[in-house]
A and B are shown apart, each in its own frame.
Chain A
Amino acid sequence: MIAQTANGNGSVSASTVYSEKKVSTWWRKFTKNKLLFISSIFCAALVFAVVFAPLFTDQDPNKVDLTKRLLQPGEDGSFLGTDGFGRDLFARILYGGRTSLGLSVCIVVVNAAIGLIVGTTAAFLGGIVDGIIMRIVDILMAFPSVILSLFIVGVFGASTFNLFISLIVLGWIGYARMSRSLVLSLKEQVFIQSSRTLGCSKIRIIFTHLIPNVFPTILIYGAMHIGSAILSISSISFLGLGVQPPTAEWGSMLSDAKQYVSLYPHMVIFPGIAIAASVLIFNIMGDGVREFADPHAKKIIKT
């Protein structure tokens, strides 16, 4: 698209010809990767629907109306029915997506940032710092994340903020391990050694040379983990220990719906489809991004 507008202008400078070519091959490669292309479209649609939720429904997701309790889908002008408090299910799913998707993206970004900085620093400084950080990583890895999240939430109380913290305590480890292994091989390359010889400070080397080089791989790894972040958030919320009512969130909606499972299954089915579909879209997109970025990246990411 960018290429087309540049053509339309008529006069193009040498540098834009180059970038135009780059963009158009990039675009061709992108559309050729069908899984990535289709999932990106779905993902864009999902994000659009969630961000501009008021365009799709005029219902307030938190408005309690006991005269409209437990409507079936399609009944009384309600698209997907209502829940036990008479709140519109479709509106709650759309607005709940803001919580689920927004929170999971935040968690992935924070985890990636912490992991990137810690892993890069550990690998670059080496020695005792590296040893201590890697031992901490070893110990933290000894816990299954859901159990540790439950522990943290159980001790500090159930709230969205504590859920966020509990998913960060263990979440950064994967990113740290990966950036560490990338930097270990990067560190021996000539450009790092020459910047050292030129007298660059350690902090400068870490932030201007190492992190930008590691960043793309971390980005791909992060893209692959948005789906699993959505799943963790919703399963802890499902247990009643994450996002608290009345805030709409897919997992906590299912937790409310559990008691109606035998009589009003629509309350269970629709939020579940929302979770499964969005996690699937993000998982396929993650796979696609990995293949798109670098066929060789597979090996690095797995470790």
Chain B
Amino acid sequence: MKKLIIRRLLIGLLIMVVASLLSFTVLYVAPGNPAESILRERTGADPSYQDISLFMSNNNLDGNLFSKIAQWLVMAFRFDFGESLYTGEPVMAEFIRRLWATLQLTLISMGISTPLAIIIGVAAAAKKNKIFDHVSRILSLIGLSIPDFWLGLFLMIIFSRTLKWLPAFGYGSAANYIMPIITLCVAQIASLTRIVRATMLEKLSEDYIVTARGNGLKKKMILMKFAFRNSLGPIVTYLGASFGHLLAGAVVVETVFSWPGVGAFLVDAVYSRDYPVIQGFVMIIALFYVVINLVTDILYVYIDPRIRFEKG
């Protein structure tokens, strides 16, 4: 088990280094000059050659490739990505300020959707090919097919425009949370339900279930203690991966609802080609992923004792 975790940590470190080099070199070969577009945006006129070179030397955009790579690696390992070319604010400070807004959305949606999806999925698997199973299957397919940005706009049309119950934009009051969270939850519940159902059905068809049935154990006991307990591993793995999906979903949902989170921050940075922000974002997301994968792996070891006793 120790070996497994050390191996995972090394792979995680490798991922971070590659992510950092990738995000750096790709930006280096990118077409166009960010200095020019930012200056044009700020002043509204075509910038002169002197202005551009002054801006570039102020923001360390010139210099040769090796010194830049060295500089970038030092910055990346200190998790200091410099200042936004656009606002002049430090990237990390802005990121941390906005992170809470995004985490609220992701964590609340996860807290709501996980138990719901598990209940629906287990119930559907227990009643395979009954009406409940068919209805939940069709609903989850529909939930998977609705684009999240459209669902957000659609909820806005219904609850803000027609019924006038909820505010369309804004951040802070409880009413602001409802629509973004529903939007994030729908796809999450739909996909998790499918995973839970499929895993449960797979486990229910195994030999030890037949034995348990033959021994005359109660149906509920077989379902929860045998099938569900064994399905936990794949479910936890999926939950770890879906945290990343939720972060990505937050990008779209934050844009729709003008939510002041990191997703909207990234999209703004992409529009204005604010390179330090984009680079920092890629690194931080990679770090999130590495940490989440590590946590999932450790959890998996606790859930499934068979792995604990395996070699490697």
Asked if residues A150 and B270 are in contact (CB atoms below 8 Å), the reply is yes
Answer whether residue A235 sits at the interface, using C-beta atoms and an 8 A cutoff. yes
Q: Is B176 an interface residue (CB 8 A)?
A: no
A280 touches B142 (CB 8 A): yes
Q: Is the interface of B mostly helix, strand, loop or mixed?
A: helix
Whether B192 sits at the interface, judged by CB under 8 Å, is: no
- The size class of the interface chain A forms with chain B is 35 or more
Main SS of chain A's interface residues? helix
Which of B91-99, B147-155, B218-226 lines the interface with chain A?
B147-155
Cβ of B290 and Cβ of A142 under 8 Å apart? yes
A173 proximal to B (CB < 8 A): no
Query: Are B146 and A139 closer than 8 Å at their CB atoms?
Result: no
The answer to the question of B64 belonging to the interface, with a C-beta cut-off of 8 Å to chain A, is no
Cross-chain contact A147 with B248 (CB below 8 angstroms): yes
Distance between A252 CB and nearest chain B CB, rounded to angstroms? 12
Contact A155 B161 (CB under 8 A): no
A279 with B30: in contact, given A151-B278, A269-B157 (CB under 8 Å)?
A: no
Q: Are A154 and B278 in contact (CB under 8 A)?
A: yes
Interface residues on B, range: 35 or more
Taking the complex as formed, is A202 at the interface, i.e. its CB lies under 8 A from any CB of chain B?
no
Give the residue name and chain of the B residue nearest to A278 (CB).
B145
Among A133-161, those with CB < 8 Å from B are: 135, 138-139, 142-147, 150-157
CB neighbours of B147 from chain A (8 A): 231, 234-235, 238, 251, 272, 275-276, 279
Q: Does the CB pair A235–B252 fall under 8 Å?
A: yes
> Are A142's CB and B150's CB within 8 A?
no
A155 touches B30 (CB 8 A): yes
Contacting residues, chain B, for A302 (C-beta < 8 A): 198
| B39 in contact (CB, < 8 A) | no
Task: Name A277's closest neighbour in chain B (CB-CB).
Answer: B145
**What 12 new A-B contacts, CB under 8 Å, besides A143-B286, A144-B247?**
A135-B14, A147-B282, A147-B285, A150-B266, A235-B147, A251-B149, A254-B149, A269-B157, A271-B150, A276-B147, A279-B144, A283-B144
Binding site for B on A (CB under 8 A): 135, 138-139, 142-147, 150-157, 227, 231, 234-235, 238-241, 251, 254, 257-258, 261-262, 265, 268-269, 271-272, 275-277, 279-280, 283-284, 287, 298-299, 302
